[in-house]
Every structure is written in C-alpha cells, then in structure tokens.
Amino acid sequence: MKVLVGSRNPVKVAATAEAFSKYFDIVDVVGISVNSNVPNQPVDTETFVGARNRAFELTMANEARNFGAEFFVGIEGGIKKLYDRWFTFGVMCIMDNTERVGYGTAPFFELPSQITKELLNGVELGDVMDTLIGERNTKERQGAVGHFTNGVMDRKAYYVAGLVVALIPFLNPDLYFESIKNHEISQD
C-alpha cells in the first residue's frame, strides 16, 4: 500500500509509516511538499483547513503524476484558545482514493504566554522553539512536545496518536461511511 504525506519532514513521514503499519502489512510512505494554503501558524479551524488542503493537494498530485497511492495524509499544527489559555495541537486529515475522509488530532497542550505572543504575530512554533532551545530544526526531531515533556513524548509519538484516531473511520467503514452511501441513494 502506498501512502502520500503532505510534507518531507522526516518526523511526519515516520509517524505516518508507524500509524499505518499498525493496521496494514506493507506500507510505502512517501513525503511530498504541498501547500496548506493557510498561514504559517494556523489558528483554530485554519488548522483543520490546512490539514485537509494538504491531503487534497496530494490527491491531485497522485492523479497528475500517477503515484498509485491509496491514502493521502495532511498534517497541520496549530493553536487554539480554550478557557482563556492557548493550546497547540496537531490535526491529521486522511483521505483515500475514493474520497472518504477521516480526521484526528494529536493531544492539545498548553503553551507558555511568551510563546503564544510570538505565534499570534505569525511566527511558526518550530521557529520559536529553535530560538528557545538554541537548536535548529527541532520540528524535525523532538518538537515542542518533546521539549516540554522532557523527552517523555517526542513529536513522532505525538503525531502517531493523531494518525491512529484519524484512521478510525477507515477501520470502521460501515459506521462512518455508510451514511454517505444512504444519503447519496436517497437523493437519486
């Protein structure tokens, strides 16, 4: 089975491979850079839109370049205000080649106010973390979650959780996609 991921970030590619390998025997995961068409640091529902846009762009690339992929994965990190606090989270959108869609999220975790201020000014979380930690490309390794959990959870494990729950509709198609069939039939 071939799966396209809307990023060349090795953490996103590895997380996708791990999540899909839990359910499918042979998985070939390929990372392709595509646009999310949302701001660099999405806020609220922009995060869902960005993940969906990435997955959809992959379906178009699959048709145009004949990759033969069966699944298309968009992963987008964003922030959301809840209970007067700002949280970061990841959204995973998985599409298949029959246009079915599943969403999942990685765990939400609260951000310090000094980081949130920079994010609301359009600076991407990965860049803020690089400055804070004094390293480069932390988003391609531990990520913010790895730093704040003292390495207990790294970015890959964080994404795997969201990808596993985004696969739920595909693992239970009669429950999730049957209503789509019934709706289409009733309109004819």
Residue-by-residue pLDDT tens, the chain, 188 positions: 999 999 999 999 999 999 999 999 988 999 999 999 998 889 999 999 999 999 999 999 999 999 999 999 999 999 999 999 999 999 999 999 998 999 999 999 999 998 889 888 887 877 887 787 777 766 666 667 777 788 888 889 999 999 999 999 999 999 999 765 544 444 44
CA–CA distance, 82 with 152 (Å, rounded to integer):
25
Q: Into how many domains does the chain fold?
A: 1
**Bridge partners of residue 167, in order along the sequence:** none
pTM for this structure?
Answer: 0.88
CATH code of the domain in which 66 resides? 3.90.950.10
Six-digit token pair at 141?
């390794």
Does residue 55 fall inside a structural domain?
yes
Q: Is 123 a member of any domain?
A: no
Q: Which residues share a beta bridge with 89?
A: 78
Q: Is residue 84 part of a domain?
A: yes
**Residues of the domain holding 47:** 2-110+154-187
Residue 149 lies in a domain: no
Instruction: Please check whether residue 87 lies inside any domain of the structure.
Output: yes
**Is there a domain that residue 161 lies in?**
yes
Residue 65 in any domain: the answer is: yes
For residue 70, being part of any structural domain is answered with yes
